[in-house]
Amino acid sequence: MKKVGLIVLIFSLLVPMIPAVLAEDICTQAKNATCDNVATINGDQVKKNCDESIFQKYSQTLIDCKNQAEQEEEKLNSQIKDIEQKERSAEWYLSKLNLDVRYLNYEIANLNLSISQLESEIKKREEAITELDQALEHQKSILSEALRQVYEYDLTSYVEVLIGYGSLSDFGSKLMEMDKIQIELRAAMSEIQEAKDKMEKERMAMEKDMEQKVDYKKTQEYSIYSLAVRKDQQEYLLRQLAAAKTPLEREMARIEAELIELRSAMSRIQTYLSMWLIDGKPTWSQIFSAVERASSATGVRSALLLGVLQIESRFGTGLGTAGNYKKYCSCDNVSCWGSKTHIEILLEICQKYGYDPNEVPMSKKCALGPAQFIPITWYGYMGLANPWNLNDAVMGMAKYLARNGAASGNERGALHVYNHSWSYVDSVLESADAWQEVINICGGLDLDCPRMRERLEQKFGSKGIPIE
């Protein structure tokens, strides 16, 4: 019983320590979170058990990891689209090559048929020429016999004529008949020779035509070979493209799965993030983090962003009032342009983040959040991002200034586009110069730098912005 009592006593002492141990463990995880594990950390528990600075660090890591994954997704998607475009081009070219090969095969088949027909016709002409040669030889033998008889008649004496033919008139008739036969034989031989010459010309023409067709067929066969080589090249290219796309698709699947986890984690802490950004109570740690992130992304110097943030909304502490959005954001009060009105965009943003439009702060000119954008301008630069989110607001501000020349040296011009007042421009630049002086001394936005602490406490301490 004593042992049991001792175990109960020890357990009773350890039980209260368990939540503290768990809290310390999750705070350590949140503080040291990376993109590999940030989505698995329970944001509600971090908010409940950890310091605000740890929650903000965890939140910023989650935001940065999500943005990084989205950029990787966009890059991979672009690479996959590029490969798919090359695949479509290769497939189209391969299809054209197949069509060209089919056409050449059809043409070669016709050439084969034509060559075969020519060979047949040439053979017929050769057979006819042989027959004509034989006929001509036959006619020559007949003519030769006739000439022999005439010659014999020429040697026959009158006595032999009278004895053989009975009278000279009969002999004369026989001679005339022989002359007629000779004439007819010569005429027949001439016709046979003409027919033979014609056949020879036709045969020679056909042989020349056949030679041309054979040469053309060889050219077409070589063309098919050349096309076959190009087909092999295109098929090889398609295999290479498919091989390149497969790992990209696997990586895309991994990133999409990672984004699902990150966005799920973001949605779990979105309410907390909205609260500390929309209530106008940022910390210097949050302000500096948002400014450094936007400056790094756009090239606009940090001091200028702090100057604008100071003049526009006192670093997000002066966001305006709530309850008059229909009046403040009407097109009668603030000029509207584009396909959507200020109110329509405001309602879409509020619906996305779960805000009541009657409870979101704004200026009398419908300027929203720390950067004081009117809805239509905000929508053009940041879409339906949260204008009261300090990170989104400063990023939108930096993008706007960069696009109008601030990142390339024309800060005055960019500021005048931001607010059409030269006194506003002078006020911002005066503030930016003061910030730049401290940044130069501290080597950046360093909260551990004594000179930075001194400036924040002396200049802004009364505004109640905490360091962390």
8 pLDDT band (50/70/90 cuts)? very low
> What are phi and psi for residue 464, nearest 5 degrees?
75, 25
Range list for CATH 1.10.530 in the chain: 281-463
Residue whose tokens read 């959040």 = 369
167-206 burial, b at 16+ Cβ within 10 Å, e below that, comes to eeeebeebeeeeeebbeebeebbeebeebbeebeebbeeb
Structural domain 281-463, CATH architecture: Orthogonal Bundle (1.10)
For 105-154, the pLDDT digits (tens) are 888 888 888 888 888 888 888 888 888 888 878 877 877 776 776 666 65
> DSSP characters for 38-87?
GGGS-HHHHHHHS-HHHHHHHHHHHHHHHHHHHHHHHHHHHHHHHHHHHH
56-72 burial, b at 16+ Cβ within 10 Å, e below that, comes to bbbbbbbbebbeebeeb
Per-residue pLDDT, averaged over 3-31, amounts to: 57
The answer, yes or no, to whether residue 164 has pLDDT greater than 70, is: no
Instruction: Please tell me the distance from the alpha carbon of residue 48 to that of residue 7, in angstroms, as a whole number.
Output: 31
Q: Is the CB of residue 57 less than 8 Å from the CB of residue 28?
A: no
One CATH from 3.30.460.10, 1.10.287.620, 1.10.3720.10, 2.30.42.10 for 75-259: 1.10.287.620
Range list for CATH 1.10.287.620 in the chain: 75-259
For the chain, the maximum distance between any two Cα atoms, rounded to a whole number of angstroms, is 181
Which range (196-205, 304-313, 321-330, 444-453) has the least confidence?
196-205
Instruction: Please tell me the distance from the alpha carbon of residue 328 to that of residue 325, in angstroms, as a whole number.
Output: 5
Per-residue pLDDT, averaged over 224-248, amounts to: 87
Q: Is the CB of residue 37 less than 8 Å from the CB of residue 49?
A: no
For 28, residues 6+ apart whose C-beta sits below 8 A from its C-beta are: none
List beta partners, residue 57: none
Instruction: Please tell me the distance from the alpha carbon of residue 174 to that of residue 148, in angstroms, as a whole number.
Output: 14
Q: Is the CB of residue 425 less than 8 Å from the CB of residue 438?
A: no
Instruction: Please tell me the distance from the alpha carbon of residue 158 to that of residue 269, in angstroms, as a whole number.
Output: 149
Q: What is the pLDDT of residue 101?
A: 85
Q: Is the CB of residue 389 less than 8 Å from the CB of residue 273?
A: yes
Terminus-to-terminus CA distance in the chain, angstroms?
Answer: 53
Question: How many residues does this entry show for the chain?
Answer: 468
Query: Would you say the C-alpha torsion 159, 163, 168, 171 has a positive or negative sign?
Result: negative
Neighbours of 159 (CB within 10 A): 8
97 pLDDT band (50/70/90 cuts)? confident
Take residue 31 and report the two structure tokens written for it.
Answer: 């503080």
What's at 83, amino acid-wise?
Answer: I
Query: Would you say the C-alpha torsion 73, 76, 81, 87 has a positive or negative sign?
Result: negative
For 416-468, the pLDDT digits (tens) are 999 999 999 999 999 999 999 999 999 999 999 999 999 888 887 645 677 76
Give pTM, 2 decimals: 0.48
Take residue 422 and report the two structure tokens written for it.
Answer: 């030269």
Per-residue pLDDT, averaged over 344-356, amounts to: 88
Q: Is the CB of residue 80 less than 8 Å from the CB of residue 252?
A: yes
